Amino acid sequence: MDFIPVNEPLLNGNEKKYLCECIDTGWISSEGPFVKEFEQKMSAAVNRKYGIAVSNGTAALEVAVQALGIKEGDEVIMPAFTIISCAMAVTKAGAVPVLVDSDMYTWNMNVHEIEKKITPRTKAIMMVHLYGLPAEADAILELAQKYQLKVIEDAAEMHGQTYKAIPCGSFGEISIFSFYPNKHITTGEGGMVVTDDEELAERCRMLRNLCFRKDARYMHDEISDNYRFTNLQAAVGLAQLERLDEFICRKRDMGKYYTEHFKDVKGLILPIEETSYGKNIYWVYGMVLDKDIQADNKTVQKLLAEEGIGSRTFFWCIHEQPVYQKQGLFADESYPNAEYLARKGFYIPSGLALTREQMDKVIDKVLRVIGSIC
């Protein structure tokens, strides 16, 4: 049986050509010329002055949090429903994530719940855009201004997306991207921090590379890590970036096609095609089982796998992560919408290499599986 994987990237542009250039010239490390070119083109694409490429999106979040000077005793507000990377970046710095429940329609943080979570220790809000629709940036930026907070924008899933026609990746002090293979452009592994602040950019460059002292190499004043990004990764990234507009169109077409076929299915809550501030770019095509269905997402994932269809459950909530529960963090906290999404949400094959034929097969199997558990 042909198994349809949940994601397959599309690498049939100039990727091979640029990679061969790396091999032919011997530039394969982080010192190669493609790295600067990719930083420059990525940051320009989102109207930022500086781009600092790093080893992955999680590293980008860690660098961003450290660059802003977030430390022990500080609090950072973020959605309860998001990838662990957001929380880990904060707890690694010794600070505490403060969680906010989700909006059931957009799956992003419910911005009306943020203000009551602000305390004198709050230093920043993490604006995370999830699954394809931008978070409500205006509301978040307004609160940040009112309470003098920094904004870290996690645009890992948002290449090419806009909020009210302004590029995602341009909000707040600092933004990050990931180039993991299920993101709209990939470098295999990879990430980037972008900012307009020269000093922050300089700090990010230091943090990326073990905090080498500028005036004395091999002397280090701070703990950091090796988060460097290679010329090989940048070669792939440049080729991918050339096709970003095409990729966004393709993702939107795929999203519309799936929605057309699922819109009358009882029991499924589908991604919203657009809101007043943005059109979905379907990072992945996610859906949520509604209250009438007893089964959870894991059951559906298993049934789909038996039919030859790859799928993934949604993220698991931060407050329910075993690692944080062991530490006694978030005890007795509950975020009903986030918990619901984590238990009932899943996504189906929606990578850029997916063909129309494969989509038709996915549709057929999803209809069958959902029919069987209704």
Ligand X SMILES: *Cc1c(COP(=O)(O)O)cnc(C)c1O
* Residue of 160, 191, 310, 349 that binds ligand X (CB under 6 A): 191
Q: Which stretch binds ligand X (CB under 6 A): 154-162, 213-221, 284-292, 340-348?
A: 154-162
85 binds ligand X (CB under 6 A): yes
* Minimum separation from the CB atom of position 231 to ligand X (A): 18
Least distance between ligand X and beta carbon 79 (Å): 9
Residues 6+ apart with CB under 8 A from 126: 76, 77, 78, 79, 82, 86, 90, 151, 152, 153, 154
Contact 164, 278 (CB under 8 A): yes
Candidates 35-43, 68-76, 149-157, 253-261: pick the segment binding ligand X (CB under 6 A): 149-157
Within 228-267, the residues that bind ligand X by CB under 6 A are none
C-beta of 157: minimal distance to ligand X in Å? 4
The site for ligand X, by CB under 6 A, has a size of 12
Using Cβ positions, the residue closest to ligand X within the complex turns out to be: 57
**Site membership for ligand X, residue 157 (CB under 6 A):** yes
Residue 242, both tokens: 């050339």
Nearer to ligand X, 30 or 58 (CB): 58
Nearer to ligand X, 66 or 178 (CB): 178
128 binds ligand X (CB under 6 A): yes
Q: Binder to ligand X among 76, 156, 236, 238 (CB under 6 A)?
A: 156
Determine if residue 110 is left, alpha or beta; phi over 0 gives left, psi from -120 to 50 gives alpha, anything else beta. beta
Q: Which is nearer to ligand X, 32 or 191 (CB)?
A: 191
Which residues of the chain form beta strands (DSSP E)?
A: 50-54, 75-79, 96-100, 122-128, 150-154, 162-163, 166-167, 174-178, 191-195, 268-269, 274-275, 278-279, 285-289, 312-313, 345-348
The one among 51, 57, 132, 172 contacting ligand X by CB under 6 A? 57
What number of CA atoms fall less than 13 Å from residue 147's CA on the CB side? 22
Nearest to 96 by CA among 316, 317, 315, 324: 324
Nearest to ligand X of 313, 369 (CB atom): 313
A 10 A CB-CB count for 33 gives 14
- Reported residue count of the chain is 374
4-12, 50-58, 272-280, 316-324 -> range binding ligand X (CB under 6 A)? 50-58
| Stretch of 55-63, 194-202, 304-312, 364-372 lying at the interface with ligand X (CB under 6 A) | 55-63
The 8-class DSSP code of residue 214 comes to S
Query: 124 to each of 36, 143, 223, 290, how far by Cα in Å?
Result: 29, 10, 22, 34
- Binding residues for ligand X, rule: CB under 6 A, are 56-58, 83, 85, 128, 154, 156-157, 178, 180, 191
